Amino acid sequence: MTGLARRLCAYAFLEDLILLYPVYALLFAGHGLSAAEISTLFIIWSCVTFVVEIPSGLWADLFSRRLLLTLSPLVTGAGYALWTWLPSYPAFAAGFVLWGVGSSLCSGTLQALVYEELERWGRAGSYARLMGRSQALGTTAVMAATALAGPVLHLGGYAAVGAASVAVCVLGALVGRSFPESRGGRDQARTPDGSVPRDASRAGCPAGAAGPDGPDGPGGPGGSTASPASPASPASDGWDEPDEPDESGFLTVLRAGLGELRGSRPARNAVLLTSAVTGALMIDEYVPLLIGSMDVGVSTVPLLILLVTVGVAVGGWCAGRGARLLGPALAVGALALAAGALTGPAGAGLLALAFGVFQWATVTCDAMLQGRLSDRARATVSSVAGFGAEVVSVLLCAGYALGSQLWAHSTLFVLAAVPYVLIALVLLWNGSGRRRGSGSGSGRERGRERGAGTER
């Protein structure tokens, strides 16, 4: 595992190793907030995410992405500190604002940095595998935080839980600061393991020269001798970071991102697909309600939820394989979701399968999106996909809230499987259409060849 992969996994693990996650609702209620007041905090959180999501992508395309990944956990940790040491409704609201800003700074930024570093060194094909494994470790961190929150809360109260959460954020910032970043004029080119090669212009070496994995390694006899400041160097690739990006710089990047969506149908389709698949996964927030409505004891509910969480982790770990099976896999996941919701406690295994497939699919869609974008506005377009996912999530939550007045949780989960079925059908239809088109094209080519042979 390269240094970049280790940093990515550590960053994802620390991002979710927050002991406040499983108990913050109890913290709010313990300080006198009603269910309605807690709901307003969630609304504030969602509104901040909507407002900051796309601007954060612009920042990531103008400023150092490593800097934003360093600031992200610090901003979020400041929010947790307000919750812990100034517990009141205004502090809780301010904390959600900071959490929303912090998560938006990371959204799209991390994906863009990782993909570009891998692509620069010819390893873009491992992007989905690395992101999937990092997300699987993030899911593992959630389980670890849930297991640790109870004992820490018992020993030191909310102050100890909050202090541990803030400390984890500081560690996350240190990991973010250690990421390699080759773009822009400020940083020397680095290999994916974070080291500085003797020949910093390896990304610009001519065909046939030894790459970073070649027998001579970076800076070997087969490498270019250009300096880091040469035109071939990744540190001077024509995309230098301005010290103080002005309004025209923001507008230029925004126009570049929107122009890429208008001019590239594959990129546009990838944004729509990623938004739909990722946003529909919001249904996993209702799994505890579904399992709680089943005929099981209260003590059994956490165990069944844990089983589903393990399925999510396994799905993330399997990312990077079988991308061509996205359509059939989503269809299988949708059927498993519906069947698992209708079969009671015995269907928990099917729910784990379904959410494992959906987790695998989100990483697969993200890899498809990154592969269809240019470097100039990569984070901006990624944030557009994130914004679309937020829209889908809000619509799903609104539909679930309205539907809960009419139907049981099991019925709502069956309905939640419908979007995945529709996405699968569209993918299967497009795939069959491309096969028919290529087949007819091959037939026309063979016909022309036969005609040419007759003439000869």
Through-space distance between the first and last CA atoms of the chain, rounded to whole angstroms: 58
Report the candidate in 395, 442, 400, 416 with the shortest Cα–Cα distance to residue 46.
395
| Range name among 53-57, 133-137, 160-164, 312-316 with the lowest pLDDT average | 53-57
Under 8 Å between Cβ of 141 and 15: yes
- Residues, the chain, total? 456
- How many other C-beta atoms can be found within 10 angstroms of the C-beta atom of residue 31? 14
pLDDT, one tens digit per residue, over 238-247 is 334 444 555 5
Query: Domain 264-437 belongs to what topology?
Result: Growth Hormone; Chain: A; (1.20.1250)
Average pLDDT over residues 276-298: 84
- CA atoms within 13 Å, Cβ hemisphere of 94: 15
With b for 16 or more beta-carbon neighbours within 10 A and e for fewer, the 415-426 pattern comes to bbbebbbebbeb
Average pLDDT over residues 237-265: 58
**293, 302, 335 from 305: Cα distances, Å:** 13, 5, 19
DSSP secondary structure of 417-442 = HHHHHHHHHHHHHHHHHHHHHHHHHH
| Range name among 200-214, 335-349, 378-392, 397-411 with the lowest pLDDT average | 200-214
CA distance 248 to 257: 14
| Range name among 64-78, 174-188, 285-299, 308-322 with the lowest pLDDT average | 174-188
Tell me if domain 1-196 and domain 264-437 are identical in fold: yes
pLDDT at 299: 67
pLDDT at 254: 63
- pLDDT-above-70 percentage for the chain: 75
pLDDT at 205: 38
Average pLDDT over residues 189-198: 43
Is pLDDT at 264 greater than 50 in this prediction?
yes
Under 8 Å between Cβ of 388 and 64: no
- pLDDT-above-90 percentage for the chain: 29
pLDDT at 256: 65
pLDDT at 357: 94
Average pLDDT over residues 399-406: 85
CA distance 456 to 449: 11
pLDDT at 248: 52
| Range name among 283-287, 358-362, 435-439 with the lowest pLDDT average | 435-439
Is pLDDT at 325 greater than 90 in this prediction?
no
Average pLDDT over residues 299-325: 84
Is pLDDT at 77 greater than 70 in this prediction?
yes
**130, 138, 321, 359 from 318: Cα distances, Å:** 10, 14, 6, 9
Boundaries of every domain in the chain: 1-196, 264-437
Average pLDDT, the chain: 78
Instruction: At 159, list the tokens.
Output: 């102050």
Average pLDDT over residues 17-30: 87
| Range name among 244-253, 283-292, 377-386 with the lowest pLDDT average | 244-253
| Range name among 188-192, 317-321, 390-394 with the lowest pLDDT average | 188-192
Is pLDDT at 16 greater than 70 in this prediction?
yes
Q: How confident is the model at residue 252 (pLDDT cuts 50, 70, 90)?
A: low
Sign of CA dihedral 90, 16, 126, 435: negative
Query: Domain 1-196 belongs to what topology?
Result: Growth Hormone; Chain: A; (1.20.1250)
pLDDT, one tens digit per residue, over 354-396 is 999 999 999 899 888 888 877 677 777 777 888 888 888 888 8
**Is the pTM higher than 0.85?**
no
Q: At what angle do helices 127-177 and 3-16 cross, to 10 degrees?
A: 70
Q: Which range among 111-115, 290-294, 297-301, 329-333 has the greatest average pLDDT? A: 329-333
Is pLDDT at 136 greater than 80 in this prediction?
yes
| Range name among 59-63, 133-137, 167-171 with the lowest pLDDT average | 59-63
How are the residues of the chain apportioned to helix, strand and coil, as percentages rounded to the nearest 5? Answer: 75, 0, 25
